[in-house]
Structure 1
Amino acid sequence: MPSEIAVEKKKLKNPPLELHYLGDRVLRQAAKRISKVDDELRQMVREMLQTMYSKDGIGLAAPQVGIHKQLIVIDLEPENAANPPLVLINPTIKQVSRDISVAEEGCLSIPNVYLDVKRPEVVEIAYKDEYGRPRTLKANDLLGRCIQHEMDHLNGVVFVDRVENSLTLAQELSKNGFSYQAVKPIA
């Protein structure tokens, strides 16, 4: 269910929130469940969207901007003003497909690093929208991958933790000024 929160999809010179990057401890902390959905939270959603659009992102999890809450914003069509973003509060995975696909991923917290990651092709989630209404969503393709990527952030996992080619990973991170030591591989 698309969000009703309206934010102009444009780049701001000074986005309201500061991104944290690979190596920063805040990216490794698990986010807390949100107990109250109110105007303050909706304002946080607006600021996250403004920050995401300013950085050319299609997804942003609250831990990436130093907020330890289970909150995600996604917009696969940032150039399309008519397409509303998706707001996920306290998302939980209900089911994933057995089918696995490999696709390239990137992350606002690891700029200019794009690597292949294996994920289930389809994911079904339960979440609350920006008014606290319970929702479910079944997603595949880019949306399914984006949801899984952002939900990882809520658990202190970054996409590079899932990259299987450690040599390519080390080279790409080094080339972009990130330390391979910051990766916590997932077995």
Structure 2
Amino acid sequence: MPGSARPVVVVGDPVLHTPTAAVTEFDEALAGLIEDMFATMYVAEGVGLAATQIGVGLAVFVYDCHDADDVQHRGHLVNPRIVATSEAEEKIDEGCLSVPGPYAPLARPFEVRVAGQDQDGNPIEVTGTGFLARCLVHETEHLNGTLYIDHLNRRKRNRILQEIEPFDWNAPLFEPQPS
């Protein structure tokens, strides 16, 4: 069942800094949410998307990105938690669909293991290296109410916030709202 793209929430919306609720119902509604999240991520040309980024306060995210060996991985995690990270880190530019436009260098673990559930409630673990590890940490942090810019010093964070820009997939969020 193909999903429907939803608007991506941008920085400033309180949902992005609110920790999510655990998913307790593994039903058709959850499966539909996951399909909508994939559709939204692809329209926005992203590699990961947390439910909070479409205004839903549930602990679920989707991803479709490559690892350090350039192998593509596509999947979702419900109620994810990071269970292991490598000491080795990689510092590269990072961006976010909810902070559209600019990127900033940020150190992340080179390898990470995340445990959670699939859409049917079955336990799963995903291990990622390189860019996939970065994505898994980034999306898990979203579900805890943390954006990548929260790791930057105030000067860098303010520069990023001044550089955000509308894209076709989120331009209505930048239009002035009637008072």
| Residue 156 of structure 2 is aligned to residue 174 of structure 1 | no
Q: TM-score, normalised by structure 2?
A: 0.82
Determine the C-alpha separation between the residues in 1 that align with 2:157 and 2:15: 21
Specify the alignment match of 2:168 in structure 1.
none
Q: Trace 1:107-122 onto structure 2 (pairs within 5 A).
A: 107-122=96-111
Letter in 1 for 2:164: N
Report if aligned partners of 2:63, 2:73 keep a CA contact under 8 Å in 1: no
Structure-to-structure mapping, 1:19-58, within 5 angstroms: 19-58=8-47
CA distance in 2: counterparts of 1:149 and 1:84, whole angstroms: 16
CA displacement at 1:22 relative to structure 2: 0.6
Structure 2: 5+ residue runs without aligned partners? 67-71, 166-179
Q: Which amino acid aligns with 1:101?
A: E
Structure 1 residue aligned with 2:90, among 69, 92, 101?
101
Pair 1:163 & 2:118 matched: no
CA distance in 2, matches of 1:42, 1:175: 35
Q: CA RMSD in A?
A: 2.0
2:163 paired with 1:149: no
Q: 2:63 aligns with which of 74, 77, 89?
A: 74
Deviation string for 1:125-177 (max 9, x for gaps)? Answer: 1111122211112211011000000011001100001124x434322321336
Number of equivalenced pairs: 161
Contact 1:20 1:66 (C-alpha < 8 Å) held by counterparts: yes
Amino-acid identity (%)? 31
State the Cα distance separating 1:85 from its structure 2 match. 2.6
Q: Which consecutive unaligned segments of at least 5 residues does structure 1 have?
A: 1-5, 9-14, 78-82, 178-187
Cα shift at 1:47: 0.7
Pair 1:18-2:36 in alignment: no
Deviations 1:48-103 (A, max 9, x none): 111111111110000111101000000117xxxxx773110011111111112211
Which whole-Å CA distance do the structure 2 matches of 1:17 and 1:157 have between them? 21
TM-score, normalised with respect to structure 1 = 0.79
Counterpart Cα distance in 2 of 1:103 and 1:125: 21
Aligned counterpart, 2:175: none
Q: Which residue identity does 1:85 align to in structure 2?
A: R
